[in-house]
Structure 1
Amino acid sequence: MASLVNMVSVSPRILSPTTTRAPSVQSRPVLSPFSDSFTRRRLTVRAAETDANEVKSQAPDKAPAKNGSAFNQLLGIKGASQETNKWKIRLQLTKPVTWPPLVWGVVCGAAASGNFEWNFEDVAKSIMCMMMSGPFLTGYTQTLNDWYDREIDAINEPYRPIPSGAISENEVITQIWALLLGGLTFAGILDIWAGHDFPIVFTLLWVDPCCHTYILHLL
């Protein structure tokens, strides 16, 4: 009987109802991954549209013909007016605005030599040297530069003479060769006129086309 009582007398902890806590589940919206990806996609599309609009604003389709300057066109700088005269276009390709440093260099070199005198011969030599270094050789390099930049200019500045078709490719190539050969001819004349035993000026001028050929080979 005592054993039965002992079996019945169970600890109250065992008989007490056990309280179980339900695990806390964090509720997350079912559509949140989809909405996040959709929002990011919209932001990406808007950013791409903004970049495209900025690129379009930086690269105008055509030059402002009304605001173009005829003087800028002759100097070969930005803001030039559209021109149909082929000789003005040829002059624009040579960029006369880049000639003065070369011409001034001839003047400074002649003055620094100590051998310059104000007579017809020395003045004629100086003028020929200015023509060689400015219009001919600088014009040659500027025209050649525009020729090799024609594909880039077709995107960034389609109104320039070569990409716009204001001057044909054959005319540009003819101008490049004419300016180069003209500069070399002037160099040879100056060598003979100065009495050089070795054609120093003519030889030095060959460095220019050789450098251009090497650079274009690297590109």
Structure 2
Amino acid sequence: MSDVRQLLGMKGASGTTTSIWKLRLQLMKPVTWIPLTWGVICGAAASGGYHWKLDHVLAAFVCMLMSGPLLAGFTQTINDFYDREIDAINEPYRPIPSGAIPLGQVKLQIWALLSTGLGVAYGLDIWAQHTIPVLFFLALGGSFLSFIYSAPPLKLKQNGWLGNYALGASYIALPWWAGQALFGYLTWSTALLTLIYSMAGLGIAVVNDFKSIEGDRALGLQSLPVLFGIKRASLISAGMIDLFQLAMVAVLIAIGQNFAAVLLVLLIVPQITFQDIWLLTDPIKFDVKYQASAQPFLVLGMLVTSLAVGHSSLTHVM
């Protein structure tokens, strides 16, 4: 089980492998691909233009491949490259700080994933017959955001608020935009909506900072647990997740999607319950249990919201 956790890129894992491909997969952290691929599904649902036919199914799959394994894999690999000193404190078993993979191989993987991801994005633009390569620009912008999140001198992750919001937007807004642009039109209204929704993603990102508090403090990274302490940071995390989902409830009511608003409220309630049981009790000890129990309700809420948006006028107003 520990080897599986390590292969998926989960924190707290241990174990060793000499397989170069297993090491490459560890760097890409497959567990992080799930929200990206789900975001594409939500964007496709919000577009109002997705249909259950072969070419649409294949295009959606390729878009999920681009967002998850390729560009999220790029993001995780470049983050590990620039975080090797922190990981030597927090997660010394990771491929780079353990010395299991040479830095030259890591750089090769970064460029291979980035170039392939951008190429796939452009191919999807051709399939969708875009006059402006929207998906390519989204992929390029997201990749640049990933770079400045991890790399100096900007290194957005040094700032707990800015870095976590960049992470939240990358996991919610960007794949949503990709899915919506692929099958319909990306409007200013839905772009703004998803950027607001990404504030809930900021709260989720904070959960990942608790186990890194020792290394972050040692190297001067101002994560929210470092800034506010574990108890206050857990309250901020829960508050951001709940508050901005409730903001989506208000939006759904405003656009006349009352049934979806009720469903979203019903999906928020168990999240609050699991926050009380796990997150607010001990976010370091119970972070995996909390995310495993609460996150399915959050992502289902995203789908409910996207389907409601797809049936509203928001996808047709520029």
TM-score (norm 2): 0.46
Go from structure 1 to structure 2 and tell me whether the alpha carbon gap of 1:83 and 1:107 turns closer, same or farther (over 3 Å shift): same
Partners of 2:135 and 2:147 lie apart in 1 by 20
Please tell me whether residue 157 in structure 1 is matched to residue 104 in structure 2: no
CA-to-aligned-CA distance 1:118-151 (integer Å, 9 cap, x gap): 1110001000000000000101000111000112
- For structure 2, list consecutive stretches of 5 or more residues without a partner in the other structure: 156-318
1:76 matched to which residue of 2? 9
Partners of 1:82 and 1:208 lie apart in 2 by 32
Q: Write out aligned runs for 1:25-174 (5 A).
A: 69-77=2-10, 78-174=12-108
Please tell me whether residue 190 in structure 1 is matched to residue 133 in structure 2: no
Go from structure 1 to structure 2 and tell me whether the alpha carbon gap of 1:130 and 1:213 turns closer, same or farther (over 3 Å shift): closer
Partners of 2:27 and 2:148 lie apart in 1 by 22
Go from structure 1 to structure 2 and tell me whether the alpha carbon gap of 1:110 and 1:163 turns closer, same or farther (over 3 Å shift): same
Go from structure 1 to structure 2 and tell me whether the alpha carbon gap of 1:209 and 1:116 turns closer, same or farther (over 3 Å shift): closer
- Contact 1:72–1:81 (Cα < 8 Å) also in 2: no
SS at match of 1:115: coil
CA-to-aligned-CA distance 1:47-96 (integer Å, 9 cap, x gap): xxxxxxxxxxxxxxxxxxxxx71210221112232111111111111111
- Contact 1:153–1:160 (Cα < 8 Å) also in 2: yes
Give the fraction of aligned pairs with identical amino acids, expressed as a percent. Answer: 55
CA RMSD of aligned residues (A): 1.5
- Contact 1:71–1:80 (Cα < 8 Å) also in 2: no
Shift of 1:154: 2.3
Partners of 2:118 and 2:146 lie apart in 1 by 15
Give the residue type in structure 2 aligned to 1:181: S
Go from structure 1 to structure 2 and tell me whether the alpha carbon gap of 1:138 and 1:212 turns closer, same or farther (over 3 Å shift): closer
Partners of 1:213 and 1:110 lie apart in 2 by 26
SS at match of 1:74: helix
Go from structure 1 to structure 2 and tell me whether the alpha carbon gap of 1:111 and 1:213 turns closer, same or farther (over 3 Å shift): closer
Go from structure 1 to structure 2 and tell me whether the alpha carbon gap of 1:126 and 1:213 turns closer, same or farther (over 3 Å shift): closer
Give the residue type in structure 1 aligned to 2:53: N
Partners of 1:172 and 1:118 lie apart in 2 by 39
- Contact 2:74–2:110 (Cα < 8 Å) also in 1: yes
Higher relative contact order (Cα pairs below 8 Å, separated by 6+ residues):
2
Question: Which of 1 and 2 has greater Rg?
Answer: 1
Give the residue type in structure 2 aligned to 1:154: A
**Count, aligned residues:** 152
Go from structure 1 to structure 2 and tell me whether the alpha carbon gap of 1:152 and 1:159 turns closer, same or farther (over 3 Å shift): same
Partners of 1:218 and 1:76 lie apart in 2 by 25
Shift of 1:210: 2.7
2:253 matched to which residue of 1? none
